[in-house]
A and B are shown apart, each in its own frame.
Chain A
Amino acid sequence: MNRPLKQAIRHHFEQRVLSTEQLERLEALMSVHAPGPAGRPIAKSWIGWPAAAAIAALLAVIMLLAPGPVDEIPMTDRIAMEVARNHIKLKPLDVETDNMDGIRRYFTDLEFAPVKSQLLASSNLELLGGRYCSIQSVPAAQLRVSAPDKHGLKTLYQSEYRKEVFGPLPVLENGGVPVEVNVKGITVRIWVEKGLLFALTGELELEPIKPGQ
């Protein structure tokens, strides 16, 4: 029997239902992670009305005097969002090469030369190529790498580290540890190394390096 495509497709999906057992498992999962009843921590009872009023007044003064919005998105989150978004898009590579010499020969319009990361030296990442890109409007090299075994394709950004744009970030040579941000299911690690900003998507076991190494 023929029927409109839309109706047939809707029927196809409506037939798929989670079993009671699966629903209960998901509900149990949600209840474990659920916040308080109002979605916010409950105020402790020892904070009386006078104290609450004083705190509110103080917050109001801080908000009035603050130079920008207090809920401004941290720079690391903004970098991570941009990197994750482009990782998901997986745009075609401008250049395909399996070595950094090939990358450096191609990326001649950048203010820096892409380099190998000391942090990733032991990860056996296989270079696939790259394309011109930017992070927070700063020109960048977007490299695509493939990790061995189950880790799959990753996106590695390199950009000149401009502190006035990116703000303070952990510097590997100073013993800094990469910042890890999870953006809508994609993990992004951000660090500074050899004067460049690095941002890498996905899970990977990274061996810490010692200062001066």
Chain B
Amino acid sequence: MLDRPVLQGLFRYGFSLTHDEDAACDLLQDALEISLRKIPDNADAAMRYVKSIMRNRFIDQYRRDQRHPTVSFDDNDKQPVVIDPRVLEDMVIAEHEVESIMAVLEPLERELLFLWAVEGCTAQEIADRTDSPRGTVLSRIHRLRQKILRQQALAGSAAEGGAS
């Protein structure tokens, strides 16, 4: 049986995908119902197992909603990528910008941020957990950084416009 801190961790992971607390709770409940009969005894393995179910269920459900029916969840980049996986480490952000940035990110971008910031995963560990090539993860990190910078610039120019 998973203890409360583990359930909270799983809920937060669900929130990184759904960006909605109710949906995250539903996703967790759904995954628990499916997984409980096969859940591993080891707590870490159990958490990873439930997370993989949550991820699969979410992706399947997300497509079913058909908001983005053609989004590929395996965006392999063909071109060679030379990206320093630490590019996110030196970024700073204003407290009030977090919500607006999270709102414009795609689910897999939020998941990546969650795995990096909350679970402390490296690019390779993220690749392993999301069953993606490391190059794809690095590309996502690169695009994520660009997106955050763009959003910050937009917020900055809006604030300047409001002040003038």
Hey, which bits of chain A sit against chain B, CB under 8 A? 1-14, 16-18, 22-23, 25-27, 29-31, 33-35, 39, 84-85, 87-92, 146, 150-153, 182, 184-186, 202
Interface residues of B, count at CB 8 A: 58
Contact of B118 among A9, A92, A182 (CB under 8 A): A9
Question: A16 touching B15 by the CB < 8 A rule?
Answer: yes
Which residues from 2 to 57 on chain B have a C-beta closer than 8 Å to any C-beta of chain A?
Answer: 2, 4, 7-8, 11-12, 15-16, 21, 24-25, 28-37, 41, 49, 52-54, 56-57
Kindly state whether residue B82 has any CB partner on chain A within 8 Å: no
State in angstroms the CA–CA spacing of A84 and B131 once bound together. Answer: 13
> What is the CB-to-nearest-CB distance from B76 to chain A, in angstroms, rounded to a whole number?
8
From B60, B63, B94, name the one whose CB has the most chain A CB atoms within 10 angstroms: B60
Contact of A5 among B1, B34, B118, B148 (CB under 8 A): B148
Give the 5 A-B residue pairs with the shortest CB-CB distance, closest first. Answer: A152-B64, A33-B36, A9-B117, A89-B74, A5-B91
Residue of A nearest to B92 (CB): A2
Contact of B131 among A12, A85, A87 (CB under 8 A): A85
State in angstroms the CA–CA spacing of A185 and B36 once bound together. Answer: 12
Given A10-B118, A13-B15, A18-B11: A30 touches B89 (CB 8 Å cut-off): no
Given A4-B91, A16-B12, A18-B7: A9 touches B131 (CB 8 Å cut-off): no
What are 28 pairs between A and B in contact, CB < 8 Å? A2-B92, A4-B93, A5-B88, A5-B91, A12-B98, A13-B16, A13-B118, A14-B12, A16-B11, A18-B11, A26-B29, A27-B4, A30-B1, A30-B36, A33-B36, A84-B56, A88-B131, A89-B74, A90-B71, A90-B73, A90-B74, A152-B65, A152-B66, A182-B34, A184-B56, A185-B30, A185-B57, A202-B60
State in angstroms the CA–CA spacing of A172 and B50 once bound together. Answer: 34
Kindly state whether residue B127 has any CB partner on chain A within 8 Å: no
Question: A153 touching B63 by the CB < 8 A rule?
Answer: yes
> What is the CB-to-nearest-CB distance from B14 to chain A, in angstroms, rounded to a whole number?
9
Contact of A30 among B2, B24, B49, B148 (CB under 8 A): B2
State in angstroms the CA–CA spacing of A22 and B71 once bound together. Answer: 32
Contact of B53 among A2, A30, A185 (CB under 8 A): A185
Residues 71-91 of chain B, each 1 if its beta carbon lies under 8 Å from chain A, else 0: 111101000000000001101
Given A5-B91, A152-B63, A202-B60: A31 touches B1 (CB 8 Å cut-off): yes
Kindly state whether residue B69 has any CB partner on chain A within 8 Å: yes
